[in-house]
Structure formats: C-alpha cells, structure tokens
Amino acid sequence: MNDLTRKALSFLHAALFTRRGLLILAGILAFSYAVVILVYVQSIPDIGLRSAFRPTIMGQAKPFEGARPEEGDEVTMVGDIEIKTWADLLNAPFHLRDSLRGISDTELAPELAEQAPLPAWAKKVSVEGTEATAVRIAFRKPGADVSLECWCVLGKLPLQDLVPSILWFILEVMLFSVGALVLWKRPTDTAAAQFFLLCIVTLGAFMGGYHWSHIATQPSLLLVFMVCAVLLPVVSLHFYLLFPKKNAGWGRTRSSPWRSSTGPPSCFWLP
C-alpha cells in the first residue's frame, strides 16, 4: 500500500467515523430508502381493493363491472387464488401478474403468443381507450354464504394515491436539506445533530408508514419503517430537550431521561 492510498484511507476514516460523517451516511441511506419506496409502490400491481390485517374490504371499491363490493365485504377469491388471510390478498396481484406474464412471454411465435387464450379468470377490457386486463374477484357479504363476483382491472396504483406522498416527500427533503446544511456548518452543535437525526427517522417513518400496506410483503422495507417508527418519539423527545436551549433537568441527570425514553421502545425488540 503506497503513501497516497494510505493517506486516502486515513482521510476517509477520519471523515466518516465521526458524528457528522455517520449522520450524513445515515441521511443518504434514509433518502435512498424513501426513493426506493416511491419507485416500488409505483411498480407494484394493484386491483383497487384496500384492506388491513384481514381480507375484508375497506373504503370504496370501484370494480370495472359486476357487483360492487362494499366496506366490510370479505374477499374469497382473486383470479384462481383462494383468499384465506390478508397475506393471500396482498400477494394475489403479484401471482396473477406473473401468471399473465408467463402467457405473454411464451416461446411461441409472436403472432401465436398474441392469440394465446387468457385463463377463465382474466379478460381484456378497454379503460378510457387503453387496453387493460381485468381479473375476476369473488366476495361475500358479512354473515352470508352467497358469493358475488366482479371484475377489477389489474394495473398499478392510481395517481391520486401517490400524489400526497410525493408532495410530502418533496417537503421533507427540503427540511432534510436544511438539517444537513446546518450539521455540515456546525458539526459540534448537539442540537443540529439531533435535528438532523430527527429528519432521518421522520423521513423513514412517514414514507414507510404512508405505504405500509404496500410494503407489508417486503420484509427489508418493512423493517426499516419499523425501526424509524419506534425511534421517532424518542428522537423527538431528545431534540426538544436540547432545542432551543438545553433542558435544565437534562443537563443535571442526563442518563435518567435517556433510560426512561429509550427503555420502553427497546422492549419492542425483545424476543
């Protein structure tokens, strides 16, 4: 290892393994996580049915045709997939998309592939002049045994579901940039470091929380959201104990508020 490489590694070590360097690195990771969330939710398949923890419909559903599901109705079948749990309902659009891709990506000649018949649970439809694929949904009313059917378009999340999170992301990035600039100019300021840390966990918690039902099938994305969400109250409390001026009680007994604020959240990670 020559002197130039040694000096470069020494400089990198000195710049990175400091409070400012580690916070900037965490900020880059948090920003990357938020971008990944936006890209991911825009690419996932969607059938327009909202639910939480159970395979029952929440809110208003807008099927392409057939009976209209109402809030509280239980989804029993999506395409050819039987729905028993919420996980089944979340994963069903992915399985249907892969099945339809398998049909369109057949090794037959292109002209024959276009004529390949769709399964009975899918059909081609026209939505505002654009060709799309609709899938059959079976559902039933609460306490009823009679199954009803409708057809929902297998597409992507509508733009109105993404606009609020994109606007909030832009707003948070502006605040995030201010925090990074203040930390860069004042690396020894504890309040500046705490504010930037607050920006980091806020970005991760709110971007993951806004789309939590869409990332529930992705453990890596969900884990980052869980960590940021649990740390957000703690980091917020620490920031307000330091800003605009250090709390007198914090200055005398710093370990006590630290233990009292970090202790309960830490219990969530115990096996």
Query: What is the value of pTM for the model shown?
Result: 0.77
Residue of higher predicted confidence among 11 and 39 = 39
**Where does the chain show beta strands of DSSP type E?**
45-46, 65-66, 74-78, 81-82, 122-127, 130-140, 147-153, 155-156
Q: Look over the chain and give the mean of its residue pLDDT values, rounded to a whole number.
A: 80
Secondary structure letter of residue 1 according to DSSP: -
Question: Where are the domains positioned within the chain?
Answer: 18-43+160-251, 45-156
- What's the pLDDT score for residue 224? 92
Token pair for residue 12? 């990198």
- Percent of the chain whose predicted confidence (pLDDT) is above 70: 77
- What's the pLDDT score for residue 116? 62
Residue of higher predicted confidence among 143 and 151 = 151
Average pLDDT over residues 147-174: 86
Average pLDDT over residues 101-117: 55
- What's the pLDDT score for residue 75? 92
